Amino acid sequence: MEKKDIKHIVKTFYNALEEGKILGRKCTKCGHVEFPPYLACNICGNLDTEWHEMSGKAVAMQIMAPSFGFSDKSFRDRVGDYCVGSVKPEESGELVTCFIGVSPGRVDELRGKIPFPVRPIIIQEDGYKMVFWELDE
Ligand SMILES: [Zn+2]
């Protein structure tokens, strides 16, 4: 992959979200999937990757209440309750993200259930869509 491909990758990723599809990049050499899509395979360093539609199967690995110092009030106004933490999709590596629709009051209960199942949710932001996660219960 070359630098000129970066814009194409970003555009394809966001266009797919508009259609409700969540894409990662799969390494043609070792099969590892990078999500969000990344320029190269972080496992073997191969630069040749191809589009892969994510299965949506994932588990939460960490969860915590958003800290007041860093919490984004306008984000909460748009999406409601949320927590922060990390998710491990079945075919890619762990990533830091937000859990939408989860009250910070549930953090202790949910921590006892790690790794608990979550599913992706596509959220409309100002002019584009983003992928977050919600509880699969
Ligand atoms: Zn690889």
Proportion of the chain above pLDDT 90, given as a percent? 79
Task: Give me the pLDDT at residue 1, please.
Answer: 56
Ligand 1 centroid distance, CA of 65 (Å): 34
Q: 91-113 pLDDT, tens per residue? A: 999 999 999 999 999 999 999 99
- How far apart are the C-alpha atoms of 56 and 87, rounded to whole Å? 11
Between the CA of 29 and the centroid of ligand 1 the distance, in Å, is 5
Task: Give me ligand 1 centre to Cα 30, in Å.
Answer: 4
Q: How far is the CA of 15 from the centre of ligand 1 (A)?
A: 25
Q: What is the pLDDT of residue 8?
A: 85
| ω into 115 cis (within 30 of 0) | yes
Output 7 or 134, whichever has higher pLDDT.
134
Q: Band of the pLDDT at 137, cuts 50, 70, 90?
A: confident
Q: How many CB atoms are closer than 10 A to CB 76?
A: 12
pLDDT at 28 over 70: yes
Q: How far is the CA of 130 from the centre of ligand 1 (A)?
A: 25
- 21 SS3 class: coil
Q: From the CA of 128, how far away is ligand 1's center (Å)? A: 29
Domain chopping of the chain, boundaries: 5-53, 58-135
Mean pLDDT check: name the lowest of 14-28, 65-79, 81-95. Answer: 65-79
Q: How high is the mean pLDDT of the chain?
A: 92
How many A from CA of 36 to the centre of ligand 1?
A: 15
| Confidence (pLDDT) at 97 | 96
For the four alpha carbons of 35, 38, 41 and 45, in that order, the dihedral sign comes to negative
∠ Cα 46 27 59 (to 5°): 125
CA angle 17, 27, 5 (to 5 degrees): 60
Task: Please give the biggest Cα pair distance in the chain.
Answer: 46
